[in-house]
A and B are shown apart, each in its own frame.
Chain A
Amino acid sequence: MKLTRRHFLQNAGIAAAAVATWKIPKGVMAASPVPAGTVATTGGLPGSLGAKEVPSVCEMCFWRCPIVGKVKDGKIVKIEGNPKSPTNGHRVCARGNSGIQLIYDPDRLKYPMKRVGARGEGKWARISWNEALDEITHNIKKVRDKYGPSSLAMFDHGASAEFYREIFKGLGTENYSNEPAFFQCMGAVSLAYLVTYGYKIAERVDMANAKAMVFFGTHLGENIHLSHVREYIAGLQNRAKLVVVDPRFSAPAGKADLWLPIRPGTDTALLLAWINYVIQNGLYDKDFVQRNCEGFDELKEAVKGYSLGWAARICDLKLDDIRRGIEMLAASRPHVTVHPGRHSAWYGRGDVQRHRAMAILTALFGAVGVPGGLYFPTPFNLEESDCLECEEPEDVEEPETSIKEKYPFTGYFGSPTAEIIKATRTGEPYPVKLWGICGVNILQTIPNPYETMEAIKKLDFIFSIEILPTEPAIWSDIILPEANYLERYDRVYANHDLTPYVTVRQPVMKPMFEAKPPFWIAKELAKRLDLDCFTCEREEEYLDEQLEAMGLSLAKLNKEGGLVTLKGNPYRDPGKAIKVDTESGKIELFSSAFDDEDMDPIPKFEPTPAPPKGYARLVYGRVPMHTFSRTMNNLWLSNECPEGKLWLNDEVAKKMGVKDGDEVIIENQDAYRSNPVKLMVTPGIRHDIVYLPHGFGSRSPLLTKTYKHGASDQFLITRYEQDPFFGGSSHRTDFVRLIKDGKTLDVPELRPIPSEIPRFEIKMAS
């Protein structure tokens, strides 16, 4: 046992006699350098005081808050918010504060590496950048020549992906950008608001000025979209009412005036009943609807059968509560935030229509272009730089059957990830033989990771560009180590929020080890692949080009503290009709775009199957200290939250004979099992779901702090349904029971399921 002062103290009483025998090795008591935790006085001033501040942009998550990197004696000592930012100011969240640990993560990828063992085995040899880039180029050309360009597919996310996506576009594949961020996350909400309002970003909600807000599953605070969290809290401080519709008592439910613990999969029923109630009781903004909306009469007719009483039964809610909820919201119109949500890939079928219903309710309240409602982005000029764009080749032979064919609204978002994986596994509609991966952990993101691993085994070649040795990196043939966000330039960032601003990511320090910035990697790949892009010499060239239209340059921007704000124009003129970019030029309550494709032009309620007997629905979410599955290996963040707990309803737990803190294994309907996980027994969750924070239980042994830590929700999501509009994959259509001490425990069903809702039937795999 190591002798410590603590033991010394604890044993002081009994140790009196033993003192004489203690032997302290020489040198132990000698003066040591200032221990961590005392005032570090480098640069003369304590802590981060007196540091040089380099303005940049965070990428610990995709929200991209403006930051400053604080540098002392050439070392980055701290990250703070950029005080010039109108959204976060000097603030950054837990993850933003922990960016430093991403730089110095001992598990970080240091050199280009080549697989030497079997694929997925995790055996590597260090190679040179030249060898790595040549090998990638060689394989891309080989696969393209043999199977055609569309056999190349790129899975991407984040700032780096914007560079490599262009390379794949230049190669002529229709699968150049397959963003799990759309197909696994915000596809449904994006499409719903696009067809209703004509602009794609649905998240411009003016919560700070709202008089009432409603969240459907949105758990702001547990997911830190920093500006949104600030605005939502500002709204509450301004005494806005808050209604939270969520089967779980989420962090915002804790701050809400009304929590509606809805039966999963019935949100659209509630929304349609609310829409009907608003119309029948004249609680909508008649003037706004008449002036700006298309299809009100059709809507009125289509929803007339949905009563609050019906919804109460379907949604398993109290009639009085849902009436109170809608009255609370309607009373505040038009200053109402119906939060559109973000992660909307819940049940596959019905997801788009759920968000369509939210978009319609927003319009009925007239909550568009007014304080507290959806607001308009303020457009401003930012030049695109030719240097950053690869042209799609003209002479490419297109595949006979497109991978996107089944889904009328997918073109806009890239190719459905589920279709790429299917094509790779089956060769239909054509073979996909090479994958590039950047910035996304496809195994911890895309449903049925077992199928994804099967697909990877069938590839001719797979490479990834990564910072850490994630699961997809482990499965790659070549790994390229990338500079992280503190070590590189990216593009100019234009933010069109209430107070718009322009800022830029720039290096706070040089890349560690042999890591390279994405621009350099893309340039080297373009050169080798004979593509006419990434031609400028240095990042500063394209940044100046992008900024020029605003009368700015990188140097000028930096003189302004790295960020320039503009005057926003978010609200409408109440006396005038608004112009929106839909087919009719009006807000489409009745969607002509959907009607043209024989999809329901007005949402209908389509139930998602209820859990089979003995099972609960698996629902997941976020913890504020982590981003997806990508920060779990961060020393500081893993210390704050090393693994998630499984939430279980208290009455259900009692019936099952389990208690808070018990360790269980989760088993899904296909008999896949999780790592052991601790139970959190709480009254704050419905009886028919369990809830697990997302992103834990890494399967990469090279991520030493998170490997096998906690249970992975994703590895239990083996069954999914695809959305009929754009082919997104569902994430809340899997069911689980628990195993404790080797004994399988059924989850009791405490409340009846209405006959309109079918029950999921477990079919054993054939």
Chain B
Amino acid sequence: MNQYAMVIDLDRCVGCHACALACRAEWNIPVPYHRNWVRELGPDKTPEGLSFTFFPGLCNHCDHPVCVDVCPADPVEKEFRDPKTGKSMKMTVKATFKDPFSGIVLIDKERCLGCGACVEACPYGARYLNENLDDPKADKCTFCVERLEHGEVPACVKSCIVDARIFGNLSDKNSEVYRLVYKKGAKRLTSKEVDIGPNVYYIGKKKDLYLLSERCTPHERTWEEVRAPGRRDLLLAALKHVRSNV
């Protein structure tokens, strides 16, 4: 099985927001929502000296995606295909799921209820629901799977003006992401409380990684609230009621 991953090099990143805008342009993401963002961090003191760095963020396509856990849609059987080998397999999935061949977390827009449970569950704030639409669907970064299928890199990777975003298959020992993660110690934003296997990693100076980690690592187990007893049933009942009234 494969796991696509991204490593972002903070030594290269200048915080220009090209990634965020390329993503918006490629997928026509409505303002003020985003699949891809940059936050300025500092200048501030760290034990390693003053730091002025950035938090370029996107969906982490986690190993244990809590957004998938909370999805209240009824599971159905879905067939997945590996575009490379042509191998296929069947899996029972909800409206959001982790693709077994790429490790990419995706949303089936046809089946999404638009309830927003996954939006609330994600500890990284990587999902949104466009509340201005009559029939909103959860949305987030797809690692540009549609582009990958056509042999293109993700839009943010293509536009990054300093080539700070390294994208590839973490399961491939010859890949650059593998080297950076397993040989160069790329870091991810995990804490004791929130450790769900994110697949976006960061490299850079100690001081910058310190500030990033201090400011941007989630500590709140956001999904537990969403999974409160009876919540899903309540939600489904409410939806059923709404539908029957149309």
Stretch at the interface among B94-102, B130-138, B190-198: B130-138
Asked if B177 is at the interface of the complex by the 8 Å CB criterion, the answer is no
Asked if B3 is at the interface of the complex by the 8 Å CB criterion, the answer is no
Contact B44 A682 (CB under 8 A): yes
Contact B15 A251 (CB under 8 A): yes
Which residue of the partner chain, among A78, A90, A639, contacts B26 with CB atoms under 8 Å? A78
Which of B22, B53, B246: most chain A CB closer than 10 A?
Answer: B22
Contact A20 B241 (CB under 8 A): yes
Within 8 A of B (CB), among A65-97: 77-81, 88, 90-94, 96-97
Contact B116 A5 (CB under 8 A): yes
A-B pairs, top 8 by smallest CB distance, nearest first, are A684-B43, A221-B14, A254-B52, A97-B21, A94-B17, A46-B146, A624-B16, A249-B43
- Closest residue on chain B to residue A682 by CB atoms: B43
Extra 6 A-B pairs, beta carbons < 8 Å, given A91-B158, A254-B52: A5-B131, A12-B231, A92-B22, A98-B21, A229-B162, A230-B162
- Closest residue on chain A to residue B31 by CB atoms: A639
Contact B12 A237 (CB under 8 A): yes
Q: A37-B30, A682-B44 are in contact. Are A94 and B20 (CB under 8 A)?
A: yes
Contact B242 A48 (CB under 8 A): no
- Closest residue on chain A to residue B226 by CB atoms: A9
Asked if A683 is at the interface of the complex by the 8 Å CB criterion, the answer is yes
Asked if A531 is at the interface of the complex by the 8 Å CB criterion, the answer is no
Query: How far, in whole Å, are A640 and B39 apart by their CA atoms in the complex?
Result: 10
Residues of A within 8 A of B44 (CB): 682-684
Asked if A118 is at the interface of the complex by the 8 Å CB criterion, the answer is no
List 23 A-B residue pairs with CB atoms under 8 Å apart, sorted by A's residue number. Answer: A12-B238, A35-B130, A35-B136, A36-B30, A37-B33, A38-B137, A47-B26, A47-B144, A47-B146, A78-B26, A91-B18, A93-B17, A97-B21, A97-B22, A97-B24, A220-B14, A229-B162, A249-B43, A624-B17, A635-B31, A640-B21, A683-B45, A684-B43
Query: How far, in whole Å, are A77 and B31 apart by their CA atoms in the complex?
Result: 16
Instruction: Render B12-48 as a binary contact track against A, CB cut-off 8 A, 1 for contact.
Output: 1011111011101111111111010010001111000
Asked if B51 is at the interface of the complex by the 8 Å CB criterion, the answer is yes
Contact A9 B116 (CB under 8 A): yes
Asked if A629 is at the interface of the complex by the 8 Å CB criterion, the answer is no
Q: A13-B234, A91-B161 are in contact. Are A640 and B20 (CB under 8 A)?
A: yes
Contact A32 B28 (CB under 8 A): no
Contact B243 A29 (CB under 8 A): yes
Residues of B within 8 A of A20 (CB): 241
Which residue of the partner chain, among A9, A96, A100, A254, contacts B53 with CB atoms under 8 Å? A254
Residues of B within 8 A of A683 (CB): 43-45, 50
Contact B135 A35 (CB under 8 A): yes
Residues of A within 8 A of B160 (CB): 91
- Closest residue on chain B to residue A94 by CB atoms: B17
- Interface residues on chain B, number (Cβ under 8 Å): 69
Query: How far, in whole Å, are A249 and B52 apart by their CA atoms in the complex?
Result: 8
Asked if B114 is at the interface of the complex by the 8 Å CB criterion, the answer is yes
Query: How far, in whole Å, are A683 and B31 apart by their CA atoms in the complex?
Result: 33
Query: How far, in whole Å, are A154 and B29 apart by their CA atoms in the complex?
Result: 41
Asked if A253 is at the interface of the complex by the 8 Å CB criterion, the answer is yes
Instruction: Render A620-659 as a binary contact track against B, CB cut-off 8 A, 1 for contact.
Output: 0000110000000001110111000000000000000000
Residues of B within 8 A of A90 (CB): 158-159
Within 8 A of B (CB), among A1-47: 4-6, 8-9, 12-13, 15-16, 19-20, 22-24, 26, 28-32, 35-40, 45-47
Q: A9-B235, A15-B238, A29-B135 are in contact. Are A237 and B159 (CB under 8 A)?
A: no
Asked if A52 is at the interface of the complex by the 8 Å CB criterion, the answer is no
Stretch at the interface among B147-155, B180-188, B214-222: B147-155
Contact A254 B50 (CB under 8 A): yes
Within 8 A of B (CB), among A588-621: none
Residues of A within 8 A of B237 (CB): 16, 19
Contact B50 A259 (CB under 8 A): yes
Asked if A410 is at the interface of the complex by the 8 Å CB criterion, the answer is no
- Closest residue on chain A to residue B34 by CB atoms: A639
Query: How far, in whole Å, are A636 and B24 apart by their CA atoms in the complex?
Result: 8
Asked if B115 is at the interface of the complex by the 8 Å CB criterion, the answer is yes
- Closest residue on chain A to residue B19 by CB atoms: A94
Residues of B within 8 A of A9 (CB): 115-117, 120, 235
B148 to chain A, nearest CB (A): 11
Residues of B within 8 A of A229 (CB): 14, 16, 161-162
- Interface residues on chain A, number (Cβ under 8 Å): 75
Query: How far, in whole Å, are A683 and B29 apart by their CA atoms in the complex?
Result: 36
Residues of A within 8 A of B172 (CB): none
Query: How far, in whole Å, are A49 and B144 apart by their CA atoms in the complex?
Result: 11
Contact B235 A12 (CB under 8 A): yes
Residues of B within 8 A of A637 (CB): 21
Contact A97 B25 (CB under 8 A): yes
Q: A4-B131, A39-B146, A684-B43 are in contact. Are A97 and B18 (CB under 8 A)?
A: yes
Instruction: Render B191-234 as a binary contact track against A, CB cut-off 8 A, 1 for contact.
Output: 00000000000000000100000000000000000001001001
Query: How far, in whole Å, are A624 and B136 apart by their CA atoms in the complex?
Result: 32
A220 to chain B, nearest CB (A): 7
Query: How far, in whole Å, are A226 and B162 apart by their CA atoms in the complex?
Result: 9
Which residue of the partner chain, among B16, B128, B234, contacts A93 with CB atoms under 8 Å? B16
Residues of B within 8 A of A93 (CB): 16-18, 161
B235 to chain A, nearest CB (A): 5
Query: How far, in whole Å, are A597 and B191 apart by their CA atoms in the complex?
Result: 67
- Closest residue on chain A to residue B51 by CB atoms: A254
A724 to chain B, nearest CB (A): 36
Query: How far, in whole Å, are A224 and B115 apart by their CA atoms in the complex?
Result: 40
Contact A253 B131 (CB under 8 A): no
Residues of A within 8 A of B231 (CB): 12-13
Which residue of the partner chain, among A24, A30, A221, contacts B242 with CB atoms under 8 Å? A24
Within 8 A of A (CB), among B93-132: 109, 114-117, 120, 128-131
Instruction: Render A253-271 as a binary contact track against B, CB cut-off 8 A, 1 for contact.
Output: 1110001000000000000
Contact B31 A22 (CB under 8 A): no
Which residue of the partner chain, among B15, B33, B43, B117, contacts A624 with CB atoms under 8 Å? B15
Which residue of the partner chain, among A47, A237, A255, contacts B27 with CB atoms under 8 Å? A47
Query: How far, in whole Å, are A506 and B134 apart by their CA atoms in the complex?
Result: 40
Query: How far, in whole Å, are A81 and B28 apart by their CA atoms in the complex?
Result: 18
A405 to chain B, nearest CB (A): 43
Contact B28 A40 (CB under 8 A): yes
Residues of A within 8 A of B17 (CB): 93-94, 624-625, 640-641
Which of B14, B128, B147: most chain A CB closer than 10 A?
Answer: B14
Residues of A within 8 A of B38 (CB): 640
Query: How far, in whole Å, are A26 and B135 apart by their CA atoms in the complex?
Result: 13
Query: How far, in whole Å, are A93 and B51 apart by their CA atoms in the complex?
Result: 23
Which residue of the partner chain, among B31, B114, B116, B158, contacts A636 with CB atoms under 8 Å? B31
Asked if B245 is at the interface of the complex by the 8 Å CB criterion, the answer is yes
Contact B135 A254 (CB under 8 A): no
Residues of B within 8 A of A315 (CB): none
A93 to chain B, nearest CB (A): 5
B41 to chain A, nearest CB (A): 10
B15 to chain A, nearest CB (A): 6
Within 8 A of B (CB), among A477-495: none
Asked if A464 is at the interface of the complex by the 8 Å CB criterion, the answer is no
Asked if A236 is at the interface of the complex by the 8 Å CB criterion, the answer is yes
Q: A13-B231, A35-B130, A683-B45 are in contact. Are A250 and B52 (CB under 8 A)?
A: yes
Asked if A529 is at the interface of the complex by the 8 Å CB criterion, the answer is no
Instruction: Render B42-79 as a binary contact track against A, CB cut-off 8 A, 1 for contact.
Output: 11110000111100000000000000000000000000
Residues of B within 8 A of A222 (CB): 14-15
Instruction: Render A359-399 as a binary contact track against B, CB cut-off 8 A, 1 for contact.
Output: 00000000000000000000000000000000000000000
Query: How far, in whole Å, are A662 and B150 apart by their CA atoms in the complex?
Result: 49
- Closest residue on chain B to residue A684 by CB atoms: B43
Contact A97 B234 (CB under 8 A): no
Residues of B within 8 A of A253 (CB): 43, 50, 52
A252 to chain B, nearest CB (A): 8
A244 to chain B, nearest CB (A): 11
Contact B50 A249 (CB under 8 A): yes
Asked if B11 is at the interface of the complex by the 8 Å CB criterion, the answer is yes
